[in-house]
């Protein structure tokens, strides 16, 4: 039996998903990435757990339910575009997150501690909250940050709709090769 691939994340509201769906339709012709993330799969990762024994899910849920109940909802916003990987052929196109960043970093740190107590290795990298929107640049010419200028303008023009309150943490399961590929396994209300 295969072990589920799990991660903890913060969801977007439906308004942000709808707007990002429209944005993606406008950006795809100008930014040729091989794979665009399905809008139902957009999220802000708190902790990647990886392949997990099914028996561990109840411990994860118990720890996260308590952590979430002791945490307040977060006011977040979508801020700017960026890339990870080679500048000429980035592997990831992302949108950065702003808002209650101290509270978000604290929630991330608490999630790391809770999952470490459940036997998951800590992630020692610096936490960089973002939404992955596309993967693997596939343009004929080298990627240019200038191509993001119109995306930045669209994001700025719709800035009022890019604010939302996160009211839950979700434990997701990945289903590779399926669209959308993430399934909510459990939900943990904040506050």
Annotated catalytic residues are 43, 130
Across-strand partners of 166?
Answer: 74
Radius of gyration of the chain measured on its C-alpha atoms: 17
Q: How far is CA 3 from CA 22, 55, 111, 145, in A?
A: 35, 10, 21, 39
Provide CB contacts within 8 A for 174, sequence distance 6+: 4, 5, 6, 7, 181, 182
Provide CB contacts within 8 A for 53, sequence distance 6+: 3
Q: Are 167 and 83 in contact (CB under 8 A)?
A: no
């Amino acid at each position: 039996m295969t072990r589920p691939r799990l991660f903890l994340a913060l969801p977007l509201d439906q308004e942000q998903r709808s707007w990002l769906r429209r944005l993606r339709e406008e950006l795809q012709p100008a930014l040729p990435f091989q794979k665009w993330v399905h809008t139902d799969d957009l999220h802000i990762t708190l902790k990647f757990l990886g392949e997990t024994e099914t028996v561990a899910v109840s411990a994860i849920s118990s720890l996260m339910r308590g952590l979430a109940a002791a945490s307040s909802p977060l006011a977040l916003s979508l801020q700017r575009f960026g890339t990870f990987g080679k500048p000429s052929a980035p592997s990831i196109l992302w949108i950065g997150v702003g808002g209650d960043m101290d509270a978000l970093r604290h929630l991330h740190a608490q999630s790391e501690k809770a999952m470490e107590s459940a036997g998951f290795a800590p992630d020692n990298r610096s936490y960089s909250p973002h939404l992955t929107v596309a993967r693997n640049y596939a343009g004929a010419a080298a990627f240019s940050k200038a191509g993001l200028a119109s995306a930045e303008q669209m994001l700025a023009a719709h800035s009022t709709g890019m604010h939302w309150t996160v009211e839950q943490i979700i434990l997701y399961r990945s289903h590779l090769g399926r669209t959308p590929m993430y399934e909510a396994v459990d939900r943990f209300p904040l506050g």
